[in-house]
Structure 1
Amino acid sequence: MASDKVSEEYGSLVFTDADMRQRLPKPTYKELRRVIDEGKDINLNIANEVAHAMKEWALEKGATHFTHWFQPLTGITSEKHDSFINPNGDGTVLMAFSGKELVQGEPDASSFPSGGLRATFEARGYTVWDPMSPVFIKDEVLCIPTAFISYTGEALDKKTPLLRSEAAVEREAKRVLALFGKQPKRVFTTCGPEQEYFLIQEDDYKARPDLILTGRTLFGCEPAKGQELEEHYFGAIRPSVNAFMKEVDDELWKLGIPARTKHNEVAPCQHELAPIFEQGSVAIDNNLLTMEKLKLMATHYGLACLEHEKPFEYVNGSGKHDNWSLSADSENLLEPGDNPEDNLQFLVFLACLVAAVDEHADLLRAAVASAGNDHRLGANEAPPAIVSIFLGDALTPVVDALIKKEHAESHGRERVDLGVPALPNILRDNTDRNRTSPFAFTGNKFEFRMCGSQQNLSDCNVALNAAVAEQCERFCDYIAAHEDLDFMAAAMRFVRHTFRDHQRILFDGNGYSEDWEKEAEKRGLLNNKTTPDALPCLVEQKNIEFFEKFNVLSEAESRARYVAAAEQYSKLLNIEANTMVTMARNLYTPAISQYSGDLASSVATKAEIGVASKTEKDLVATLTQGLEDIRVAADELEEKNVAARSAEDVQKQDDAYRDDVVPAMAKLRAAVDGMEKICAKDYWPVPSYNDMLFYV
């Protein structure tokens, strides 16, 4: 898209507020705005008028179908397309779209994960229009963002609990702001998901069954070169990748997605895309669209986009940083101002957030738990599995002083003299970055860095939003219980006591260090290193009651989400184990056997004339032993996998995969990778790490 067309085409595939204002009667537009801005119910007459306007707009854009676009518990998006055609009976058709079709759909709910909420034969489910997220056109289909619920009303998706949690935090934050004399029209979360991903040659991708079936390489010996030179980070972008990135930008901008930053990441072939912040649930919708477009656009350039958390060993994996804040109309509630020690409102919300993260660190850890993310967390490339908060140089002294009842002074923003007259002085930010911190303050927001690259951010934002809502309620209750105190004095006491009571969660040091792990244990912080360790908290009674209290999840919905997540973990590892056994037997064993056989024939021929070397004979013996090691390891993995699948409940199944199958997978990988190191390249049946990570 040429630069002069960006403003013209930006949002051209979105039914924007400007489109609504232009196409709807003024009373209808005003009523729809009340639905969007104030959460009012929409009546059928208004829905019919809106549906007609949407249809006319979509037809002008070339759309022929519509779909309710939703987020089942798979974590990705789903859609069922229906055409606008309505036969007249005389061989002609009328293009029609009703308010009822806009507001409610009925996809088959039987085959989506439900965690036991629905039986397979109970197929009815409903999609319900989310008017707060804009309607858009994708592939000539009018896409209507929706929630997805069961016939009996339980949430079967990621979006419904997210919207409930946003309603909860808005309600409680408004109560806090009312005590400061403010009555904002809206309080809403903002989110800016930074998406990391890998790009490799599509031909290499197609030659690797493990990448196709699991999204990551299950085998592969260490490449001669990794990321140790760090030249890929922010380096010049390959022309083919740059062309891909340009098309992605063009497509995202047409969809109204404010893609802003793109660059090479640390690992070879790794890249990042970051948008400008948006309202929380809209940002998550747009991130899911972005992930879809990345995969699709890559194929236009002979590339494959890998969004798995750990597609390659020996180099960094990919995360998705959830930049979270809270706004009241146009005011960022996490903006410290020039003197944070004097900004009581900021300190109240900061204290609420610190307490929220400390009290519900288990839920935040569970929200990012997955088989893929287990490869990253705590692996010296991502934050540790221990949840902690980094406040930085500006806020840490303020908080420490408040706890000690001393005068608080922040560093503020300082000018940095670069020592070169031609270069302008710069303003130093009020805090440095801490890339080892799971939850870091970065100036006027917090960056939750534990999320996996292929995960839906709804889960972690549900936990975070509800936890902050709980602490806002606690503040209001505290003020009500201390009516004898001046409001300012009571609020400051709340802030001081909250920081004191939750000081254990604050840590500004190196989260990768062994010393921190020991210190965290002394502080009583959780260290749930794997998904089977992290998920059970979802069904602890205190957490069930917590979500129920704020109308985010019912007990049945909480239990269902635990079961669905636990099943996904075991199912993914089952697929990985099956893939490894198949590749070992059908790809690697024949290749190694052929190489060793050809080498043995050469040795025998040379022996006849007395020139066979000991090196060649030893290599044949090593290859032969390697084949046996692979056979034994593959048989063991298959046996362990069968046993894990037969476990009687989901937790025991997950535990068996973690304790028995994962080590067996590592053993088989080591056996195969050992052979790759000595097998002739022409015989090796799949592209190596050297091939995939360093293509031209």
Structure 2
Amino acid sequence: MAKSIPDLFGSKVFNEKCMKEGLASDTYKELQKTIQEGKPLNPKIANAVAHAMKEWAIAQGATHYTHWFQPMTGVTAEKHDSFIEPVDGGKVIMSFSGKELIKGEPDASSFPNGGLRATFEARGYTAWDPTSYAFIKDDVLCIPTAFCSYTGHALDKKTPLLRSMEAINTQALRILKLFGNTDVTSIKTTVGPEQEYFLVDKDYYATRKDLIYTGRTLFGAPCPKGQEMEDHYFGTIKSRVQSFMNDLNEELWKLGVAAKTEHNEVAPAQHELAPVFSTTNIATDHNQLTMELIQRIAKKHGMVALLHEKPFEGINGSGKHNNWSISTNTGKNLLEPGDTPYENAQFLLFLSAIIKAVDEHQDLLRLSVASAGNDHRLGANEAPPAIISVFLGDELNAVLEAIINDKPYDGTEHKLMKIGACVLPKLPMDTTDRNRTSPFAFTGNKFEFRMPGSSSSISGCNFVLNTVVANALREFADMLEKADDFESSLHSLIKQTLKDHQRIIFNGNGYDDAWIEKAKKRGLLNLRTTPDALPYFIHEENIRLFETEKVLDREEMESRYEITMEEYTKVINIEALTMINMAKKEILPAVSRYSKELSDTCLSKCQLDAQMDVTYEKEMLTQINALLKEAYQACSELEEKTNALHTIQDFEKAAFFVRDTILPCMDALRKPCDVLETMTDDKVWPFPTYGKLLFGIL
């Protein structure tokens, strides 16, 4: 590494240092207001900013720029335009205007829109998000942007996130004002997303159609060793993997991504990367870059990164733990309990709002992480169940119980918990053990939302989380602003809120089957699959919620519902077609050839000596032929049902059809094929087994 890490960090980012160097003092101050306070950019300074940005980018070797955005495809999108501008004499100059910086017009015709516009209405607009720094990737200046239609409807994942951040900023400021806090001018949610992924050898990957087309193995018998020895977790990182991680860190640091932690995860070939917290929209941009670079750099090291939630059957899948908190522009974390009655009461009010929001909007939080891939992972003794609950830890839970029941808290201090009149017991950062089975756990000064899948954008869960908490804070502010006695009303509000929403608090083992029945008695939702969860998005009360907070309107919600339901269907349809292809063209022919080898061996033995024992060959042939027949019939059934799927026009009916009909048929095909793998000569089996995939990186 030629440069020191501090010099390397952010070297490909048009950050504050670059702005100070390239902009006039008054222009820089005006831009900082936009970045720090979310104020609109003054068009008068846009040209100056664009010029400085262009000069910096060209000095870095960039020849093109792009408005880098996040459509509803789940990946990023970019259209590159060069800086060249023709002039007289057949020459060119390098030009970049404020108008080009602020607004772009990519063709939007082929991006998912959920019925927001007709196919022939292709116009879409990208709008610069000045709160997220521009950066250079592959010698292209990338300008983070939002993406919307000609009518102003959001066509991307960033727009609702930015709107939700404004919603929670507005309502949280109202709350702080009630506490007499006048020095805070903006409030932002912050996120630190942990990213899990698998690494497999590139040569093995290239021979498996299922990994190429779907990102997960659709066939595969367990190998003799899995993760049961628990020796991979935090184990010594293999040299090849460490070399990849070193290169990954360097590229991420150049882009200003504060990659902090790296380690082996539970499953063989599984790893994790975690960054330092940053503002939510920036964290979202950085996570998209992280996923892209993980995949790109792995290939340079002869490996392929798998970001699917469940690449291997019977092996832990991959999630993306979304560590979420709320911070002020003065550096205060609003989820820190603090040491004074003022801070304690403020903390408890925000905590109560979050508990209320999670309880009342379990459906929205669940659907925010719903996907075909995540359905394989949630509740599978490796990830939180599909049931939403909040973990607080024994000590904090005891404090809340004391408030609810107006009883003294018998912990580190024995006193009556009267809001505004006493100091909470000192709550250490690690006052309780970390509950890895909880979907939404308080971990000292933040909440860890453990349900998002490894391949998904964190924008979805965060714009929902921001919105529902903003709505709870709105209700609190409406009530307290009218109160004659603030302290008394505050105490009553916190006490009643905690009492009303106790059912969502669960400090036990979320993997325990008994919790499912217990949660049902509490009235908690158990939305096990994506089609179970997604319809809640267009329930009237949820549409009203998002419209109230100005995050999404009815048309945008209906479009997102259609897009996500169709995506679910498309993903499983591709998987089904891939299974049919692999079974018909690879597995069945290979096993048939192997059965011929057994048959020829049996006949040769009998011809040599009629008394020679051929029990092995005969029994193997009998079993293999029975399984071959079962697999062929299951393949034919899956093909028939897949053809039937293609005749269903209604996107809702199609989604439920793949869940209730296609998936069981896929399971029926996989079962005999996986058994056949265990009975077939490795030299004959048409693609690498789990043993090679999981333990093939030396």
Both structures adopt the same fold (TM-score exceeding 0.5): yes
Assess if the C-alpha contact under 8 Å between 1:226 and 1:268 holds in 2. Answer: yes
Q: SS of 1:320's equivalent?
A: coil
Separation in structure 1 between the aligned mates of residue 295 and residue 596 of structure 2, nearest angstrom: 41
Q: Corresponding residue for 1:265?
A: 265
Q: Corresponding residue for 2:407?
A: 406
The correspondence of residues 9-408 of structure 1 with structure 2, limited to 5 A, is 9-183=8-182, 184-329=184-329, 330-337=331-338, 343-408=344-409
Separation in structure 2 between the aligned mates of residue 408 and residue 178 of structure 1, nearest angstrom: 29
**Identity of matched residues, %:** 54
Assess if the C-alpha contact under 8 Å between 2:367 and 2:537 holds in 1. Answer: yes
Assess if the C-alpha contact under 8 Å between 1:85 and 1:93 holds in 2. Answer: yes
Separation in structure 1 between the aligned mates of residue 339 and residue 629 of structure 2, nearest angstrom: 68
Q: Corresponding residue for 1:595?
A: 594
Deviates more, 1:513-522 or 1:565-574: 513-522
CA positional deviation for 1:339: 7.5
Q: Corresponding residue for 1:574?
A: 573
CA positional deviation for 1:190: 0.3
Assess if the C-alpha contact under 8 Å between 2:12 and 2:254 holds in 1. Answer: yes
Following TM superposition, where does structure 1 have runs of at least 4 consecutive aligned residues deviating by more than 6 angstroms?
A: 339-342
Assess if the C-alpha contact under 8 Å between 2:178 and 2:481 holds in 1. Answer: no
Deviations 1:649-675 (A, max 9, x none): 222111111111101000100011110
CA positional deviation for 1:411: 4.9
Deviates more, 1:503-512 or 1:82-91: 82-91
Separation in structure 2 between the aligned mates of residue 294 and residue 505 of structure 1, nearest angstrom: 36
Separation in structure 1 between the aligned mates of residue 362 and residue 492 of structure 2, nearest angstrom: 24
Separation in structure 2 between the aligned mates of residue 656 and residue 523 of structure 1, nearest angstrom: 31
Aligned length: 679
Q: Corresponding residue for 2:540?
A: 541
Equivalent position amino acid for 1:289 in 2: L
The correspondence of residues 514-529 of structure 1 with structure 2, limited to 5 A, is 514-529=513-528
Equivalent position amino acid for 1:209 in 2: K
Q: SS of 2:679's equivalent?
A: coil
CA positional deviation for 1:431: 2.2
Equivalent position amino acid for 1:24 in 2: L
Equivalent position amino acid for 1:154 in 2: H
Does the C-alpha gap of structure 1 residues 462 and 22 become closer, same or farther in structure 2, counting only changes over 3 Å? same
Separation in structure 2 between the aligned mates of residue 193 and residue 480 of structure 1, nearest angstrom: 35
Separation in structure 2 between the aligned mates of residue 93 and residue 629 of structure 1, nearest angstrom: 68
Separation in structure 2 between the aligned mates of residue 341 and residue 388 of structure 1, nearest angstrom: 28
Q: SS of 1:199's equivalent?
A: strand
Q: Corresponding residue for 2:507?
A: 508
Equivalent position amino acid for 1:265 in 2: E
Deviations 1:184-226 (A, max 9, x none): 1220000000000000101111111000000000000011111
Deviations 1:79-116 (A, max 9, x none): 00011111223232101111111000011111111111
Separation in structure 1 between the aligned mates of residue 156 and residue 64 of structure 2, nearest angstrom: 23
Point out where structure 1 has 5 or more consecutive residues left out of the alignment.
413-426
CA positional deviation for 1:21: 1.3
Q: Corresponding residue for 2:420?
A: none
Separation in structure 2 between the aligned mates of residue 42 and residue 509 of structure 1, nearest angstrom: 49
Separation in structure 1 between the aligned mates of residue 90 and residue 343 of structure 2, nearest angstrom: 74
Equivalent position amino acid for 1:508 in 2: N
Does the alignment pair 1:649 with 2:641?
Answer: no
Q: SS of 1:137's equivalent?
A: strand
CA positional deviation for 1:41: 2.4
Equivalent position amino acid for 1:240 in 2: R
CA positional deviation for 1:342: 7.3
Q: SS of 2:62's equivalent?
A: coil
Assess if the C-alpha contact under 8 Å between 1:341 and 1:408 holds in 2. Answer: no
Q: SS of 2:305's equivalent?
A: strand
Does the C-alpha gap of structure 1 residues 98 and 341 become closer, same or farther in structure 2, counting only changes over 3 Å? closer
Assess if the C-alpha contact under 8 Å between 1:366 and 1:538 holds in 2. Answer: yes
Deviations 1:610-631 (A, max 9, x none): 2251221121222222222111
Does the C-alpha gap of structure 1 residues 257 and 479 become closer, same or farther in structure 2, counting only changes over 3 Å? same
Equivalent position amino acid for 2:614 in 1: S
Equivalent position amino acid for 1:630 in 2: A
CA positional deviation for 1:473: 1.0
Assess if the C-alpha contact under 8 Å between 1:394 and 1:411 holds in 2. Answer: no
Does the C-alpha gap of structure 1 residues 664 and 465 become closer, same or farther in structure 2, counting only changes over 3 Å? same
Q: SS of 2:251's equivalent?
A: helix
CA positional deviation for 1:338: 5.0
CA positional deviation for 1:645: 3.1
Assess if the C-alpha contact under 8 Å between 1:340 and 1:347 holds in 2. Answer: no
CA positional deviation for 1:118: 2.1
Assess if the C-alpha contact under 8 Å between 2:337 and 2:343 holds in 1. Answer: no
Equivalent position amino acid for 2:250 in 1: D
Q: Corresponding residue for 2:425?
A: none
Deviations 1:456-475 (A, max 9, x none): 01111111101111111111
CA positional deviation for 1:648: 3.8
Deviations 1:103-134 (A, max 9, x none): 00011111111111122211110000000000
Assess if the C-alpha contact under 8 Å between 1:15 and 1:54 holds in 2. Answer: yes
Does the C-alpha gap of structure 1 residues 656 and 411 become closer, same or farther in structure 2, counting only changes over 3 Å? farther
Separation in structure 2 between the aligned mates of residue 37 and residue 618 of structure 1, nearest angstrom: 74
TM-score (norm 1): 0.96
CA positional deviation for 1:29: 1.0
TM-score (norm 2): 0.96
Separation in structure 2 between the aligned mates of residue 41 and residue 319 of structure 1, nearest angstrom: 36
Deviates more, 1:107-116 or 1:473-482: 473-482
Separation in structure 2 between the aligned mates of residue 25 and residue 225 of structure 1, nearest angstrom: 63
Separation in structure 2 between the aligned mates of residue 343 and residue 165 of structure 1, nearest angstrom: 26
Q: Corresponding residue for 1:452?
A: 453
Q: Corresponding residue for 1:564?
A: 563
Q: SS of 1:128's equivalent?
A: strand
